[in-house]
A and B are shown apart, each in its own frame.
Chain A
Amino acid sequence: MSNAAPVLAAQGLVKRFFGNPVLKDVSIEIVPGRVHALLGENGAGKSTLVNLLSGVLSPDEGRLLVDGQPCARLTPALARRHGIAVVQQELSLAPHLSVVENVALGAVPTRRGLIDYRRLAVEVGRVLDRLGLDVALDQPVEELPLGRRQLVEIAKALYRQPRVLILDEPTSSLTAHEVQALFKVLAELKREGTALVYISHRMNEIMHLCDWVTVLKDGTRTADRTMDGIDPPALVRLMVGREPGDLFPPFRSTTRDEPALEARALTAPGVGGVDLVVRQGEVLGIGGLLGQGQEELLLALYGALDAQAERLATGGVDRPSRNPADAIGRGLAYVPADRKREAVLLPLSIGFNLTLPGLRRLARRGLRRFAREAEVARELTAKLNVRGGGPERAVQLLSGGNQQKVALARWLPLSPKVLLLNDPTRGVDVDTKREIYLRLKGMAAGGMAVILLSSDALELVHLCDRVLVFRDGRIAADLPHGQASEEAIVAASLGVARQEAA
């Protein structure tokens, strides 16, 4: 079956974002009648590859072949015409329209210029039945639970009878029963000769469903082989093992005995019962696949999400923070992942951004003291080595890394006890990363407790005293420094039991 000629092939794809290569010389062959797994850690380049294969992005180097013919410029419309369909994680449904209208949208059958409702009912009904999706054709999509909507999304792809069907985490919100129905359809499609690409973080699905696997690591292809004779630990090993180089400072623990924050049975939307203790001077890592409740945990601690807890003690008070202002008052500080939207005020000056959170403390009798503010701004820019101009320059003129330094530095005048960092080095250049790591370790050495959420397993390995790996809103593993290898973190994220001997 795998001798068949590939329907879709990529040769030597290179894609860079702002000069950073995210895919380096990746080739892949999508063959009819084969389920092709695409594996890789967060940020390994899976989504970029899918976007290239479906024409959403165009490659900087390399070429795509459809039916063996080079395709100079693939667009989403052209990909659709070639029979390439993608089921994205984010839904493309129109919530107020009905199930039939959504499934057929963009490809409605017509008769004399009018929508042919008869054919619509028959054809869409057939696809829904095939998926075992028991919903009324005329039901508005917004009334369906998330799992059902995901199935409508899949029905939409099937309705177009694709030759290549790419599924990006299709089962993330399905029940076990719905997954079974989907797998049955995928098996049928495979028999009928459809080429399937399957992206999932669920190892058992990959093992059960897939014939072939391509593994990406850091934008390069580390494996392209049959699934015969490979086991989950071996797949995990193919995904990990990046070279850290001299990016990280040598590890030295500065943990003290006194706890800075204690939580017991903390629940919040997306967080289901978490116990944790962070000590002064400790760097606590939070890892896992994207969207397993890590961000929600930080927001819950920061009072930005409603949280309940048996115990949540920090800053001498034992209760969840009511809102961010309350949390700040208790000595918490949060640096969001989306710094441009949630942290810095882009058009305003570096100096203003740096002094804003502590403005009230710098003021005297309700009036601002500009000289004192300027002094503080100067100190902070020097301390964090913010480059790109004096304190009077607008933050938007700085590079991403220096903006992040501003987002971090602005909390220092409040001397927080617990610093919550949400992926602080995402989209930051290597040199700035190094500086941020040093600064972060320095703050921990000064007694601050740092909770570092990161999508980069290497950061967790090299910076943290302890790493909590999240899965489905709970702590799946609690790994002390030394045991928290990249492999251990990835295996725990994926729910793969690790063989110690391996």
Chain B
Amino acid sequence: MRQVPSGAALHARLIWRRNRGQIGLFVLLALLLALYAFLHPGLLSWAGIARFTQNWFPVALVAIAQTLVMLMGGIDLAIGATVGLGTVLAATLVGESALGAGLGITATVAIGVAAGGLVGTIVALFGLPAIIVTLASSFLIGGAALLVMPRPGGSMPGWLSEGLVGVHPTALLILILILVAWRVLRATPLGLSIDAAGDNPAGAFRSGVNVALARIAAYAISGGLAAFAGVYVAAQTGAGDPLIGNPLTLQSITAAVLGGVGFLGGQGTIRGAVAGSLLLAVLVNVMFFLGLPPVAQYVMQGLIIVAAMGIKRLRERAA
């Protein structure tokens, strides 16, 4: 007869198991962070940590957003556009309307959730390929952002910018909150459904999982996170800019791939996405301190995607 573990013990073991295959990533990350701290001792101070996490934070958010979609076997080309829409909505609703900060941010995130949910519905119910649907929605969402604000403008209240991007690690705190929220969601049937639907959609369907709902939920959460990244970017720059999010689409894919999610879905974790985005952010900084030109970043991102997928493939073949 087996020893029946307590519920908490089982939950803890399940969480721990999800780290498998990511130890290498975490080790690499620790080494790079150490190298970065060595090159730039200023990192190890409140201000250093605050500044670094503020640069990294939007990428971390879109990496989580992209991972959720890629888990479902899709890819989201509209993430950058959604971030852009988020900035212009924030700069309009929060800075220059009667809604106030709380309602304005909520409304912005809600619009992101709705946009993501709509895309997810089209993908899940009509079976259209995600790459096409999100390409189309990137134009729709990007166009909507340009309609709201044809050129950069609007404003964010000073206290909000100070709160989010001042010399204190608010960004880190929010990121930890998001990770905790995901852990809670993952401990619900819906969260489990999202993972199962990404891993084996046909099998999950046959097991009675509402796969369509899981897909829509993943896209909706993804849209909300991208819009919130927009709010944060608006606070950083003090204004809305419909085009500012565009480079984030590719960065989110790079970070998600680094974090372990493949182009065919399944096997991604949210902590992997965060780690992947952190690796990307640290690499960029390390390259800067090593005196490499900014253009080298693009070359590096390309190499990273191929290398990350290649290593994963080799490992699967060895198994």
The docked-state distance in angstroms from the alpha carbon of A80 to that of B13 is: 30
Chain B 1-43 residues near chain A, CB threshold 8 A: 1-2, 4-8, 10-11, 13-14, 16-17, 20
Tell me if B192 counts as interface (CB < 8 A to partner A). Answer: yes
Asked, given contacts A91-B203, A106-B208, whether A97 binds B196 with beta carbons under 8 Å apart, the answer is: yes
Decide: B192 and A105 in contact? CB cutoff 8 A: yes
Tell me if B207 counts as interface (CB < 8 A to partner A). Answer: yes
Asked, given contacts A92-B200, A101-B196, whether A110 binds B206 with beta carbons under 8 Å apart, the answer is: no
- Render A71-101 as a binary contact track against B, CB cut-off 8 A, 1 for contact: 0000011001000000010011111111011
Decide: B5 and A92 in contact? CB cutoff 8 A: no
Tell me if B277 counts as interface (CB < 8 A to partner A). Answer: no
Asked, given contacts A117-B8, A129-B2, whether A140 binds B206 with beta carbons under 8 Å apart, the answer is: no
Tell me if B188 counts as interface (CB < 8 A to partner A). Answer: yes
Of the stretches A118-126, A229-237, A326-334, A397-405, the one at the interface is A118-126
Residues of chain B at interface, number, CB under 8 A? 32
Decide: B2 and A125 in contact? CB cutoff 8 A: yes
Decide: A94 and B200 in contact? CB cutoff 8 A: yes
Decide: B195 and A115 in contact? CB cutoff 8 A: no
Asked, given contacts A88-B206, A98-B14, A106-B209, whether A125 binds B7 with beta carbons under 8 Å apart, the answer is: no
**Partner pick for A156 among B4, B16, B202, B207, CB 8 A cutoff:** B207
Tell me if B266 counts as interface (CB < 8 A to partner A). Answer: yes
Decide: B10 and A100 in contact? CB cutoff 8 A: yes
Decide: A128 and B2 in contact? CB cutoff 8 A: yes
Asked, given contacts A80-B208, A110-B188, whether A116 binds B7 with beta carbons under 8 Å apart, the answer is: yes
The docked-state distance in angstroms from the alpha carbon of A118 to that of B7 is: 4
- Render B180-217 as a binary contact track against A, CB cut-off 8 A, 1 for contact: 00001001110010011001101110111100000000
Decide: A106 and B13 in contact? CB cutoff 8 A: no
Nearest Cβ in chain B — how far from A338, in angstroms?
19
- Which B residues are in CB contact (< 8 Å) with A101? 14, 192, 195-196
Tell me if B251 counts as interface (CB < 8 A to partner A). Answer: no
Nearest Cβ in chain A — how far from B211, in angstroms?
10
- Render A136-166 as a binary contact track against B, CB cut-off 8 A, 1 for contact: 0111100000000000000010000000000
Decide: A106 and B4 in contact? CB cutoff 8 A: no
The docked-state distance in angstroms from the alpha carbon of A107 to that of B266 is: 21
Asked, given contacts A96-B266, A125-B4, whether A115 binds B209 with beta carbons under 8 Å apart, the answer is: no
**Partner pick for A121 among B5, B184, B189, B204, CB 8 A cutoff:** B5
The docked-state distance in angstroms from the alpha carbon of A480 to that of B251 is: 66
Nearest Cβ in chain B — how far from A111, in angstroms?
9
Decide: B199 and A96 in contact? CB cutoff 8 A: yes
Tell me if B267 counts as interface (CB < 8 A to partner A). Answer: yes
A-B contacts counted at CB < 8 A amount to: 100
The docked-state distance in angstroms from the alpha carbon of A95 to that of B203 is: 10
> Chain B contact residues: over half helix, strand or loop, or mixed?
helix
Decide: B14 and A94 in contact? CB cutoff 8 A: no
Decide: B5 and A105 in contact? CB cutoff 8 A: no
Residues of chain A at interface, number, CB under 8 A? 38
**Partner pick for B7 among A80, A94, A120, CB 8 A cutoff:** A120
Decide: B1 and A129 in contact? CB cutoff 8 A: yes
Chain B 150-180 residues near chain A, CB threshold 8 A: none
Decide: B203 and A97 in contact? CB cutoff 8 A: no
Asked, given contacts A138-B10, A140-B17, whether A92 binds B199 with beta carbons under 8 Å apart, the answer is: no
The docked-state distance in angstroms from the alpha carbon of A116 to that of B17 is: 18
- Which A residues are in CB contact (< 8 Å) with B20? 140
Decide: A137 and B10 in contact? CB cutoff 8 A: yes
Decide: B199 and A106 in contact? CB cutoff 8 A: no
Asked, given contacts A91-B203, A95-B200, A115-B187, whether A107 binds B208 with beta carbons under 8 Å apart, the answer is: yes
- Which A residues are in CB contact (< 8 Å) with B8? 117
- Which B residues are in CB contact (< 8 Å) with A96? 195, 199, 266-267
Most buried by B among A76, A101, A118, A138: A138
Decide: B206 and A92 in contact? CB cutoff 8 A: yes
Asked, given contacts A96-B199, A105-B192, A115-B192, whether A121 binds B206 with beta carbons under 8 Å apart, the answer is: no
Closest 7 CB pairs of A and B: A106-B208, A118-B7, A92-B203, A117-B7, A94-B199, A106-B207, A138-B13
Q: 27 A–B contact pairs at CB < 8 A? A: A77-B208, A88-B206, A92-B200, A92-B206, A93-B203, A94-B200, A95-B199, A95-B200, A96-B199, A97-B195, A101-B192, A105-B207, A105-B209, A106-B209, A108-B192, A110-B188, A110-B189, A116-B7, A120-B7, A122-B4, A125-B2, A128-B2, A129-B1, A134-B2, A137-B5, A138-B10, A138-B17
Extra contacts, 12 of them, besides A76-B208, A94-B196 (Cβ < 8 A), are A92-B207, A94-B195, A96-B266, A101-B192, A110-B189, A115-B192, A117-B10, A118-B6, A120-B7, A122-B4, A137-B10, A140-B20
Report B's interface with A, CB cutoff 8 A: 1-2, 4-8, 10-11, 13-14, 16-17, 20, 184, 187-189, 192, 195-196, 199-200, 202-204, 206-209, 266-267
